[in-house]
Chain A
């Protein structure tokens, strides 16, 4: 049976092919039309990505290697901007701050994991809890920044009120104007905003784990802790990795929150690479230097994602097929 059908199919296909091939010119024209159609349909999107993703990336490289002047010819100067960067204290400070920002991702993800495990259980009102935790994520970050500024206000902010009432601090604390507290304060706000997004990603991962595995494990006598360590965590690895990557991305792109809450200050105590790039280009007018900073930032981002991917066993792609 198997052999006959296998033999029959190529024969059939052959005849069909030959029949189709007969009006060769017409068929070629049809294929050309089809190909043209495909590219015409792709064109608008590709133009947008070319103009605002690929061309900027290339142009950044060119700008970073030259001396830009608004009028007249730009001058090729090689890696001078990159050498300047080594002596630029603000660059190192903003790089350090960006890495500190990045280091909050594991805490955020761990917290979100705990929450997502709780809202994945069969308690009542779990969808209400999910909505509440997620609510802060899709909101306009500028408004979120203003809300948090107000929370941190020195005189009538809620933080000062609570901490003073509990006698943790005796004097009003100017959180966002303090060199030590400005960055941590912004980071807390950023975790507050992204927590719900982490939760949603981990929740999707949790719901992809087949329930039968838990049933089998409990028949085999595994307790809840063992089930968590042996089933949940390993199978959740792609989702956890994905949350990390998003955390990394966020620490490199989180402009709005810092701009509104502290504008990088006091001094450069809460400066991030992304805010420094903006300032260099649009406040100091050093477009070429900003481009060099961007290249460094982008290279770091790619390297970190790559390392993360290796560390997670290259399983990031697994989510793709599951989702």
Chain B
């Protein structure tokens, strides 16, 4: 994704149109579900009429208005925003601190790194039962903090930071220390400004993960008023299965922030995911 090496010699040897054809078909198949849902969100669908229309007939935006006013969408949006904001802030700060510590040499460093790498092998889904009990003992069930706490630090993101911090010249840090900056100030004034790509990766990944998170809120949230959007969406599905238009308008409204963010910061996003993935 980063740099592309031109393959001039190869280009002359084979025609391009079969590749375009194959990729156009692939793209079509990847995009069709989006189109189908977008169409339904604009027109609704009478499930007793067959065949369904392939094109949006008389499109309107009333379903989007319905979603905003008739269900507690703004409240769920607020819940999602608060939880995501908590997760992003914690990730940006805690991961940077941990990564900065890992750029130092100290006894037990190898142990810590081994520990982090093995923790990556423990998917969150295999911890849900005790994680629920632990959160209960902490008195954090049904709270914003309880929803966000497990995502407060992410191992992948620590390594993304560490790679960026390792590239900062040692002399710069020493100079900052001589100028009397404390270690926290060194992180804030020297390391973070020099690793803006890593910061962006941290923000984007922690946003996407907490924004999309479903299983954990499903376990810890009890009140409908505390639900984040994915949970609201799933409850809406089970309560009003046949109010087609509004359900799919809801889907589109929930997906849009993710799509927008992804299209804006594609490079950072992909770099973060691949570096995270390849680091273990």
A interface with B by C-beta (< 8 Å): 34-35, 37-39, 41-42, 44-46, 48-49, 51-57, 59-60, 63, 114-115, 118-119, 121-124, 129-136, 138-143, 146-151, 153, 155-156, 158, 161, 164-165, 192, 195-197, 200-201, 203-204, 207, 211, 214-215, 218, 224, 242, 246, 249, 252-253, 255-256, 259-260, 274, 277-278, 281-282, 287, 290-291, 294, 297-298, 301-302, 305, 319-320, 322-323
Contacts and interface: CB of A to CB of B under 8 A. Distances in A.
Given A38-B101, A150-B37, A200-B1, A255 B215 contact: yes
14 contacts: A41-B100, A49-B153, A52-B124, A52-B149, A52-B150, A56-B130, A56-B131, A146-B247, A150-B37, A158-B32, A224-B10, A259-B214, A297-B126, A302-B121
Contact of B278 (A55, A156, A164, A242): A242
Nearest to B253: A143
A139 B7 contact: no
Contacts of B230: 140, 142-143, 256
A214 B5 CA distance: 12
Given A52-B131, A60-B130, A253-B123, 12 more contacts: A44-B153, A45-B97, A48-B150, A49-B116, A49-B153, A49-B155, A56-B126, A135-B30, A158-B36, A214-B10, A287-B129, A298-B122
A59 B211 contact: no
B196 interface: no
Contacts of A49: 115-116, 119, 153, 155
Contacts of A151: 33, 36
Interface stretch (B14-22, B55-63, B64-72, B167-175): B14-22
A42 B112 contact: yes
Contact of B47 (A136, A155, A196, A305): A155
A204 B274 contact: yes
B251 interface: yes
B31 A42 contact: no
Nearest to A238: B278
Interface residues of B, number: 106
Contact of B127 (A57, A158, A287): A57
A42 B121 CA distance: 20
Given A150-B37, A165-B51, A140 B149 contact: no
B277 interface: yes
Nearest to A239: B278
Provide the main secondary structure of the chain B interface.
helix
B33 A37 contact: no
Most chain A CB inside 10 Å of its own CB: which residue of B8, B36, B123, B125? B125
B106 A34 contact: yes
B129 A121 contact: no
Given A118-B23, A200-B273, A143 B94 contact: no
Interface in B260-280: 262-263, 266, 269-270, 273-275, 277-280
Contacts of B116: 49
A206 to B, nearest CB: 10
B120 to A, nearest CB: 9
Most chain B CB inside 10 Å of its own CB: which residue of A52, A122, A260? A52
Contacts of A35: 106-107
Nearest to A33: B183
Closest 10 CB pairs of A and B: A323-B278, A56-B127, A56-B130, A59-B130, A41-B101, A45-B153, A45-B98, A156-B52, A41-B97, A52-B150
B145 interface: no
A301 B158 CA distance: 24
A256 B211 CA distance: 13
B158 A38 contact: no
B95 interface: yes
B212 A44 contact: no
A161 B122 contact: no
Contact of B125 (A165, A255, A302, A320): A255
B234 to A, nearest CB: 5
Contacts of B82: none
Nearest to B157: A45
B224 interface: no
Contacts of B149: 48, 51-52
Contact of A207 (B2, B46, B122, B229): B2
Contacts of A204: 1, 274, 278
Contacts of B52: 156, 158, 161
B126 A301 contact: yes
A158 B32 CA distance: 9
A197 B22 contact: no
Contacts of B214: 140-142, 255-256, 259
Contact of B259 (A135, A192, A319): A135
Given A56-B130, A136-B30, A200-B273, A150 B40 contact: yes
Contacts of B5: 207, 211
A278 B11 CA distance: 52
A31 to B, nearest CB: 9
B98 A156 contact: no
A44 B130 contact: no
Nearest to A249: B123
B129 A132 contact: no
B122 A201 contact: no
